[in-house]
Amino acid sequence: MPTIARIEIIELDIPYPHPFKIALAVMNSARNIVVRVHDSDGLVGVGEGCPPRFVTGEAPETAFEAAKLYAQLLIGKNPLEINTRLRELEQYMLKNPAIRCAYDLALYDLLAKHAELPLYALLGGEKKVIYSNRTIGIDSPEKMAATAKQHVENGTKAIKVKVGTGKAEDIARIRAIREAIGSGVPLRLDANQAWDEITAINILTALAEYEIEVCEQPLPYWNFEGLKRLRERSPIAIMADESIFDAHDAFRLASSGAVDYFNIKLAKSAGIHGAMKINAIGEAAGIKCMLGGMSESLIGVSAGAHLICACPNISLHDLDSPFHFTEEPSIGGVDFQPNGTVTLTDAHGHGADMKPEWIQKSKRIVIGE
């Protein structure tokens, strides 16, 4: 049986062409961690984690150090015993979901390569075309409306809009966007925890006429009871994002009837293994799921696309993070068109890896051998 021979840990710093603003933060680059797990048979599994301190509680610096500790734990062990390996990571150190995600994706990629299957097939899925929304960061109503219009002209089927700076401003943004794009293309709002209950119900009531499909995380992550009260009064469906990291959160939200949708993000769920548990709870409770993203390159996006193909209950897709970069640091993986169309290949695993020049120029350490 193969063993894990060495592990490369790489810290990416991928610039954005201009600052990307959400209610929680302003981001100038994506600082992600990639792990490349080499086994004794010569195969390499590749995974990526996005550790935004304002969501997962991690930072690139802490995630890089945690990755080194996890690598030392895995060296010499069988990578195909994936459930055991992931349990060891979870039990070794509390939390750290984004860096555990990087290892989860790498091990699933490696397992699929040993099986000589694309990842979606390993997970029991079938290849299909995926349609991602395009996301617009917080800006002036005029600039956001112009961006939305361009996306619709390119053929985008849904638009996600960041909000959360104030009632008047948020309403003005959505009104301007809807007037610019006309009817027929659904809008998905993301408040990133910015509102209290009174503000949320006032804004959502005012926006009901603008064809809003769902509002994501309107309240602080801890306010499960508030989400339930808001859902009971809101004319717009409610989605949990920062409130749902694992299966325990999913069970609490489903049991209380607090939300209409779960937003599964691999960096929150510690990867595919945890994401499938959340989706299963949602499916059992009649709650549809979105597969969302942080700031993943095509490595993380490709893994997410393969998961979508194996989980029909994941009906909404938010995978457009690579379009916010000045340069893509990875090669292979899915084909992502500007209109949000995502097409998988039949390469073994998820099909994506780092560009050699990015490996060379990025902060990097090798554990093992």
**Tokens standing for residue 263:** 């937003």
The residue with tokens 């897709």 is 317
265 belongs to the catalytic site: yes
Considering the candidates 48, 216, 249, 296, report the single residue annotated as catalytic: 216
- Determine how β-strand 238-240 pairs with β-strand 212-216: parallel
CA distance 308 to 322: 18
Stretch (H or E) spanning 110: helix 97-115
Considering the candidates 241, 249, 318, 353, report the single residue annotated as catalytic: 241
Dihedral sign of CA atoms 26, 265, 130, 350 in order: positive
Considering the candidates 90, 109, 190, 296, report the single residue annotated as catalytic: 190
95 belongs to the catalytic site: no
216 belongs to the catalytic site: yes
Q: Is 222 in contact with 246 (CB distance < 8 Å)? A: no
Closest CA to 188 of 257, 246, 135: 135
C-alpha 171: how far from chain center:
26
190 belongs to the catalytic site: yes
Q: Which residues, at least 6 apart from 357, have a Cβ–Cβ distance to it below 8 Å?
A: none
Considering the candidates 160, 162, 268, 288, report the single residue annotated as catalytic: 162
Q: φ and ψ at 96, to 5 degrees? A: 55, 50
143 belongs to the catalytic site: no
Q: Is 238 in contact with 218 (CB distance < 8 Å)? A: yes
DSSP assignment of 30-47 equals: E--EEEEEEETTS-EEEE
CA distance 158 to 251: 28
What b-and-e string marks burial along 106-122, b requiring 16 or more CB atoms within 10 Å of the CB? bbbbbbbbbeebbbbbb
Considering the candidates 113, 265, 268, 288, report the single residue annotated as catalytic: 265
Give catalytic residue positions. 162, 190, 216, 241, 265
